[in-house]
DNA sequence: CAAAACTAGTTCGGTACCGAACGAATATGG
DNA sequence: CCATATTCGTTCGGTACCGAACTAGTTTTG
């Protein structure tokens, strides 16, 4: 169980087996074809773009699964949501950042960020300071406690990332990142 | 801007350019290297798994971007959230399904599903019926209005999926789906 | 330099979403 | 059979998250 995307569709994967690098495709594809047949039957096996359907729906499915596991296993002990972790991470790398840019980097609406920064500020992990040059702007940075938190969490998160991409070769990981980058670009 | 993942990191992509199929890598990589250098500098350029970091963080970023655009552009006219759309889609393909399985197929906690089914039921798009054989169980199916809704929405959604994977070859889409499937499997 | 346009951040209303606790229906096993 | 365990779905409390409206600084311009 649990290999469906958007419920069930594994259609399309048979098209290009030759291009695939993993050797266990054939074992998986056997029962996946059942689902594929259902979809084709329902959708009338023409006129739709199954390759894109496959790619995109798997994308969302993978992201949801990873997020849930990351929150449950890696982040929960620190009471961090995925979004909160991301905020700390970005600030860790960049030292400080304005709210607007931070929201964009973290893939959050700025209204959402406000709330999450409130939470993180209350917990003493980040600090907000208005900029003297422009009092509208707000500079956000980690407190030393925030820094020590992310310093402790990130290695665990990174090894979790390793687990999640277990079984992919270095080249495949890079290829995945590349393909996703191109998709992201289309989405922006 | 906006090609960062988890804020900024495009590190790792230089490792395997040779394996990549797109020819515009080099134009992108130029400025991406700046970010990569920042990350490396901060993280100390050893001990961490940058390939996995890259793959996984791009994954989340792409999914979030796609979801937001799908909801904003394709689904909003029908007042459907991404999750609601998924529910309709699954029921469309499978005709009917029990709550528990539906939750799993849609990647939702069952408590979440209850609420969303309430909404969809109120709107007359789905229908719930207890199973006679086992009164705990609930069978969910589309109403005819639900069916006509998803019949109208799906083609638009599918062509949106096509846009999102624009620029990928058929083989690349299949490869993307395959890699994601393997990641999802790790996450389950 | 005052009014208008713009910009950064917050507030607000609402949905989505989770996990844990719950209640009802069914299966189990002594 | 009845007590217990299990298995459904729902309820509940809480956070995350969005988009739109709002507030308060800043820039523009007549």
DSSP characters for A1-61? ----STTT--TTGGGGGGG---S-HHHHHHHHHHHHHHHHHHHTSSSS-HHHHHHHHHHHH
* Contact in structure between A173 and A164 (CB atoms under 8 Å): no
**Smallest CA–CA distance from A62 into chain B, residue:** B184
pLDDT band at residue A141, thresholds of 50, 70 and 90? very high
Interface mutation target, options B37, B56, B108, chain A, most CBs of A under 10 Å? B56
The more confident residue out of B128 and B14 is B128
Checking if the pLDDT of A2 tops 90, the result is no
How distant is the alpha carbon of residue B138 from its chain centre? Answer: 27
| Token pair belonging to B41 | 């500098």
* Contact in structure between A63 and B63 (CB atoms under 8 Å): yes
pLDDT band at residue A47, thresholds of 50, 70 and 90? confident
Which pLDDT score, from 0 to 100, does residue A35 have?
59
Q: Which domains does chain B have, with CATH numbers?
A: 1-65 (no CATH), 76-153 (1.10.10.10)
pLDDT band at residue B44, thresholds of 50, 70 and 90? confident
Which pLDDT score, from 0 to 100, does residue A150 have?
94
Which pLDDT score, from 0 to 100, does residue B5 have?
42
Q: pLDDT per residue over B136-181, tens digit each?
A: 999 999 999 999 999 999 999 999 999 999 999 999 999 999 999 8
Q: pLDDT per residue over A147-157, tens digit each?
A: 999 999 999 99
Checking if the pLDDT of B39 tops 80, the result is no
The region that residue B133 occupies, defined by phi over 0 for left and psi between -120 and 50 for alpha, beta otherwise, is alpha
Q: What is the largest CA-CA distance in chain A?
A: 64
B112 in contact with chain A, both atoms CB, cutoff 8 A: no
Mean pLDDT in residue range A27-43: 54
Q: Of B33, B13, B106, B139, whose CA–CA distance to A5 is shortest?
A: B106
> Is there a contact between B7 and A42 if contact means CB atoms under 8 Å apart?
no
Checking if the pLDDT of B3 tops 80, the result is no
A13 in contact with chain B, both atoms CB, cutoff 8 A: yes
The region that residue B127 occupies, defined by phi over 0 for left and psi between -120 and 50 for alpha, beta otherwise, is beta
Distance CA(A72)–CA(A79), nearest Å, equals 10
pLDDT band at residue A40, thresholds of 50, 70 and 90? low
């Amino acid at each position: 169980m649990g290999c469906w995307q958007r419920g069930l569709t594994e259609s399309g994967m048979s098209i290009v087996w030759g291009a695939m690098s993993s050797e266990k495709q054939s074992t998986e594809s056997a029962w996946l074809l059942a689902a594929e047949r259902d979809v084709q039957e329902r959708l009338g096996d023409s006129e739709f773009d199954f390759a894109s359907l496959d790619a995109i729906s798997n994308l969302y499915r993978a992201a949801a699964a990873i997020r849930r596991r990351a929150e449950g296993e890696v982040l929960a002990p620190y009471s961090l949501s995925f979004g909160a972790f991301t905020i700390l991470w970005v600030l860790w790398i960049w030292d400080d950042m304005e709210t607007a840019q931070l929201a964009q980097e973290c893939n959050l609406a700025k209204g959402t960020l406000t709330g999450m920064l409130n939470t993180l500020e209350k917990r003493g992990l980040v600090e907000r300071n208005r900029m003297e040059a422009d009092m509208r702007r707000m500079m956000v940075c980690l407190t030393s406690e925030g820094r020590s938190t992310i310093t402790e969490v990130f290695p665990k998160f990174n090894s979790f990332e390793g687990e999640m991409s277990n079984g992919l070769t270095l080249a495949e990981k890079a290829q995945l990142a590349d393909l996703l980058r191109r998709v992201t670009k289309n989405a922006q």
